[in-house]
Amino acid sequence: MRWSVVPFGRYKGKTFPEIILQDPDWFFWALPKLYGKLADEAKSLAQKARAIKIPKSNRRKLEVEYQYDCDQRFCGFAFVKADAWHSQRTARLPYLDLRRPLCRKYDKRAGRILISDFRTHYFGKHKRLTKQRCEEFFGNDKNFLC
């Protein structure tokens, strides 16, 4: 898939897959303000970003566990066994939703933590989120439930 380049603002010259994996908070903030071809592309990407499959490293049934501190600020996510115990400071889904941690309580650091964990779990701790990697990930429909 060929991604459009954003022609304005803070991320001028970048594609939406780069933006969402650099600053998901900005992406979801800008989403309702877009129109035309950019809006269609961004809505499609947002739908994918809210339904990312858990990598199949083995055959166990896993869920994404979002972890929060006592002030309801996002602390990170991990893959855990679906039947494992969890506390009141966590939330679970059978897929990764990049929007979910940004909805509870506004905290700009939540986006940085989210993307750091995403990079580690989906690409490896020492891999950079290059333009090519971002675009290839979001261009592969096998990575998403929808």
30-67: burial string, b at 16+ Cβ within 10 Å, e else: bbeeeeeebeebbeebbebbbbbebeeeeeeebbbbbb
Q: Average pLDDT in the 10-34 region?
A: 95
Determine the average pLDDT of the residues in 121-130.
Answer: 91
Task: Among 8-17, 54-63, 84-93, name the one with the lowest average pLDDT.
Answer: 54-63
β-bridge partners, 80: 63
CA distance 111 to 49: 13
d(CA 97, CA 82): 16
pLDDT band, residue 59 (cuts 50/70/90): low
Q: What residue ranges do the domains of the chain occupy?
A: 1-146
pTM: 0.91
Residue 58 has pLDDT above 90, yes or no: no
Residue 108 clears pLDDT 90, i.e. is over it: no
